[in-house]
Structure 1
Amino acid sequence: MRAVVAVLLFVTAAHAALWGLFQEKQAAPDFKGILPSVSYTPFEPGHVVDSTIDPARIRADLKRLSTVTRAIRSYSSTEGNELVPPIAAEFGLKVMVGAWISKDDDHNASQIESAIALAKRNSNVNGIVVGNESIFRADQKVEDLIELIKRVKKSVNVPVTTGEIWNSWRDNPELASSVDFIAAHVLPYWENFTDKQAVDQAVYLYGLLREKFPGKRIVIAEFGWPSAGYNLRNAEPGPFEQASVLRNFVARAEAMGMEYNIVEAMDRPWKSFEGGVGPYWGILNNAGEAKFSWTGPIVNENYWKLAAIALLVGILMSLPILRLEQPTAAQAFVLSAAANGVGAWAATVFAFWSGHYFVFGSAFALTLGLILLVPLVLIAMARIDEIAAVAFGHGPRRLIAKTATLAPATIGEGVTFPKVSIHIPAYFEPVEMLKQTLDAVSRLDYPNFECVCIINNTPDPAFWQPIQDHCRALGERFKFINAEKVQGFKAGALRIAMDRTAADAEIIGIIDADYVVHPDWLKDLVPVFADPQVGLVQAPQEHRDGDLSLMHYIMNGEYAGFFDIGMVQRNEFNAIIVHGTMCLIRRGAMDMAGGWSSDTICEDTDLGLTIQQQGWLTHYTNVRYGEGLLPDTYEAFKKQRHRWAYGGFQIVKKHWRRFLPGGSRLSPDQRREFSLGWLNWLGAESLGVVVAILNLIWVPIVAFADISIPDKILTLPIIASFIVSLTHFIALYRLRVNIKAGQMLGAMIAAMSVQWTVSRAVAQGLITEHLAFARTSKGGLSRMSIEFQAFWEAVIGVLLLIGATVLVVTNGYKQVREIYIFAGVLVLQSLPFLAAVAIALLENSRTNSFAFWRNSAVRTAELIGIRPVRLPTVAAPSQPVASEIRREAN
Structure 2
Amino acid sequence: MMKWILAISILAVYANTILFIVSWGLKWSVLFVNWRKSRLQATTPVDKLVATRADYPGVSAGRGAAYFSVHLPTHNEPPDIVIKTIDSILASNYDDFELLVIDNNTNDPDLWMPVSDHCMEKGARLRFYHRINVANAKAGALDIALELRNRRATHVVIVDADYTVDRDFLTRASNLLAQNEYDYLQFPQSYRGQGAAGLKYELGLYFATVTRAADAANTMLLTGTLSVIAVKALRTLGGWKTSTLTEDAEIGLQLHMRGFRGRYIAQSAGAGLLPFTFFDLEKQRERWIHGNFQVLTRYFTRIMTVKKNYLLPILSQLSAWFAFLLIPMVFMLLIPLFAGYGPLSNPAAVALAIAATTIILDFVSRFVFIRLSGVGTKLTEVLDTFVVSWALAGRSSLATFTGNLPAARIFHRTNKSICDESAEVRSTTTTVVAILGAMAILQGLLMAQPTVVVAGMLSVLMLPFQWLASRRLLRYRNHFRVR
Classify the TM-score, shorter chain.
0.7 to 0.9
C-alpha change, 1:489 and 1:624, in structure 2 (3 Å) is same
Say whether residues 1:751 and 2:402 are aligned partners: no
Say whether residues 1:727 and 2:388 are aligned partners: no
- 2:45 maps to none
In structure 2, the residue corresponding to 1:825 is in which secondary structure?
helix
Aligned residues of 1:406 and 1:524 also touching (Cα < 8 A) = yes
| 2:297 partner amino acid | K
Q: Give the deviation of 1:620 after TM superposition.
A: 0.7
Q: Give the deviation of 1:726 after TM superposition.
A: 2.4
Q: 2:121 aligns with which of 445, 456, 473?
A: 473
In structure 1, the residue corresponding to 2:275 is in which secondary structure?
coil
Q: 1:555 aligns with which of 199, 206, 218?
A: 199
C-alpha change, 1:395 and 1:540, in structure 2 (3 Å) is farther
C-alpha change, 1:696 and 1:555, in structure 2 (3 Å) is same
Q: What is the rounded CA distance, in whole Å, between the counterparts of 1:717 and 1:624 in structure 2?
A: 39
Q: What is the rounded CA distance, in whole Å, between the counterparts of 2:402 and 2:8 in structure 1?
A: 27
C-alpha change, 1:837 and 1:444, in structure 2 (3 Å) is same
Aligned residues of 1:396 and 1:572 also touching (Cα < 8 A) = no
| 2:392 partner amino acid | V
- 1:815 maps to none
Q: What is the rounded CA distance, in whole Å, between the counterparts of 2:18 and 2:28 in structure 1?
A: 15
- What aligned pairs does 1:425-504 form with structure 2 within 5 A after superposition? 425-504=73-152
| 2:312 partner amino acid | R
C-alpha change, 1:450 and 1:362, in structure 2 (3 Å) is closer
Unaligned runs of 5+ in 2: 42-47
- 2:438 maps to 801
- 1:41 maps to none
Q: TM-score, normalised by structure 1?
A: 0.48
Q: What is the rounded CA distance, in whole Å, between the counterparts of 2:297 and 2:184 in structure 1?
A: 23
- What aligned pairs does 1:767-778 form with structure 2 within 5 A after superposition? 767-768=405-406, 771-778=409-416
C-alpha change, 1:699 and 1:739, in structure 2 (3 Å) is farther
| 2:326 partner amino acid | V
Deviations 1:280-328 (A, max 9, x none): xxxxxxxxxxxxxxxxxxxxxxxxxxxxxxxxxxxxxxxxxxxxxxxxx
Aligned residues of 1:646 and 1:764 also touching (Cα < 8 A) = yes
Q: Give the deviation of 1:702 after TM superposition.
A: 6.7
| 2:101 partner amino acid | C
Q: What is the rounded CA distance, in whole Å, between the counterparts of 2:353 and 2:439 in structure 1?
A: 24
| 1:825 partner amino acid | A
Say whether residues 1:761 and 2:399 are aligned partners: yes
Q: Give the deviation of 1:489 after TM superposition.
A: 1.2
Q: What is the rounded CA distance, in whole Å, between the counterparts of 1:542 and 1:596 in structure 2?
A: 24
| 1:466 partner amino acid | P
- 1:836 maps to 466
- Sequence identity of aligned pairs in percent? 22
| 1:484 partner amino acid | I
- What aligned pairs does 1:1-20 form with structure 2 within 5 A after superposition? none
Aligned residues of 2:326 and 2:398 also touching (Cα < 8 A) = no
Say whether residues 1:373 and 2:17 are aligned partners: yes
Q: What is the rounded CA distance, in whole Å, between the counterparts of 1:418 and 1:787 in structure 2?
A: 45
Deviations 1:421-472 (A, max 9, x none): 1111111222221111111111112121111111122243332333223223
Q: 1:635 aligns with which of 272, 279, 283?
A: 279
| 2:224 partner amino acid | G
- 2:327 maps to 690
- 2:295 maps to 651
Aligned residues of 1:421 and 1:501 also touching (Cα < 8 A) = yes
Aligned residues of 2:353 and 2:451 also touching (Cα < 8 A) = no
Q: Give the deviation of 1:526 after TM superposition.
A: 2.1
Aligned residues of 1:797 and 1:834 also touching (Cα < 8 A) = no
- 1:404 maps to 54
- 1:545 maps to 193
Q: 2:159 aligns with which of 511, 515, 521?
A: 511
C-alpha change, 1:667 and 1:657, in structure 2 (3 Å) is same
| 1:726 partner amino acid | F
Aligned residues of 2:74 and 2:101 also touching (Cα < 8 A) = yes
C-alpha change, 1:532 and 1:545, in structure 2 (3 Å) is closer
In structure 1, the residue corresponding to 2:185 is in which secondary structure?
strand
Q: What is the rounded CA distance, in whole Å, between the counterparts of 1:786 and 1:435 in structure 2?
A: 25
Aligned residues of 2:395 and 2:429 also touching (Cα < 8 A) = no
Aligned residues of 2:284 and 2:414 also touching (Cα < 8 A) = yes
- 2:308 maps to 668
Which structure is larger by alpha-carbon Rg, 1 or 2?
A: 1
Aligned residues of 2:277 and 2:424 also touching (Cα < 8 A) = no
C-alpha change, 1:793 and 1:393, in structure 2 (3 Å) is same
In structure 2, the residue corresponding to 1:775 is in which secondary structure?
coil
Q: What is the rounded CA distance, in whole Å, between the counterparts of 1:741 and 1:443 in structure 2?
A: 38
Q: Give the deviation of 1:502 after TM superposition.
A: 0.7
Q: What is the rounded CA distance, in whole Å, between the counterparts of 1:680 and 1:522 in structure 2?
A: 29
- What aligned pairs does 1:91-102 form with structure 2 within 5 A after superposition? none
Aligned residues of 2:103 and 2:129 also touching (Cα < 8 A) = yes
Higher relative contact order (CA 8 A, sep 6+): 2
| 2:54 partner amino acid | A
Q: 1:573 aligns with which of 217, 222, 245?
A: 217
Say whether residues 1:741 and 2:379 are aligned partners: yes
Q: Give the deviation of 1:617 after TM superposition.
A: 1.3
- 2:44 maps to none
CA RMSD of aligned residues (A): 3.2
Deviations 1:395-419 (A, max 9, x none): 576995434365436xxxxx94211
Deviations 1:124-157 (A, max 9, x none): xxxxxxxxxxxxxxxxxxxxxxxxxxxxxxxxxx
Q: Give the deviation of 1:795 after TM superposition.
A: 2.5
Q: Give the deviation of 1:371 after TM superposition.
A: 2.8
Aligned residues of 2:242 and 2:251 also touching (Cα < 8 A) = no
C-alpha change, 1:399 and 1:660, in structure 2 (3 Å) is farther
Q: Give the deviation of 1:801 after TM superposition.
A: 2.5
In structure 2, the residue corresponding to 1:534 is in which secondary structure?
coil
C-alpha change, 1:362 and 1:452, in structure 2 (3 Å) is closer
- What aligned pairs does 1:339-358 form with structure 2 within 5 A after superposition? none
Q: Give the deviation of 1:539 after TM superposition.
A: 0.4
C-alpha change, 1:363 and 1:639, in structure 2 (3 Å) is closer
Q: Give the deviation of 1:505 after TM superposition.
A: 0.5
Q: Give the deviation of 1:784 after TM superposition.
A: 5.4
Aligned residues of 2:279 and 2:425 also touching (Cα < 8 A) = no
Q: Give the deviation of 1:566 after TM superposition.
A: 1.9
- 1:714 maps to 354
C-alpha change, 1:438 and 1:849, in structure 2 (3 Å) is closer
Q: Give the deviation of 1:623 after TM superposition.
A: 0.9
In structure 1, the residue corresponding to 2:267 is in which secondary structure?
coil
Deviations 1:56-115 (A, max 9, x none): xxxxxxxxxxxxxxxxxxxxxxxxxxxxxxxxxxxxxxxxxxxxxxxxxxxxxxxxxxxx
C-alpha change, 1:363 and 1:450, in structure 2 (3 Å) is closer
C-alpha change, 1:531 and 1:703, in structure 2 (3 Å) is farther
In structure 2, the residue corresponding to 1:474 is in which secondary structure?
coil
Aligned residues of 1:510 and 1:584 also touching (Cα < 8 A) = yes
Q: 2:184 aligns with which of 527, 536, 550?
A: 536
Q: What is the rounded CA distance, in whole Å, between the counterparts of 1:672 and 1:844 in structure 2?
A: 34
Aligned residues of 1:404 and 1:524 also touching (Cα < 8 A) = no
C-alpha change, 1:759 and 1:366, in structure 2 (3 Å) is closer
C-alpha change, 1:847 and 1:769, in structure 2 (3 Å) is closer
- 2:28 maps to 384
Aligned residues of 1:399 and 1:622 also touching (Cα < 8 A) = no
C-alpha change, 1:605 and 1:845, in structure 2 (3 Å) is closer
Aligned residues of 1:511 and 1:581 also touching (Cα < 8 A) = yes
Q: TM-score, normalised by structure 2?
A: 0.85
C-alpha change, 1:844 and 1:537, in structure 2 (3 Å) is closer
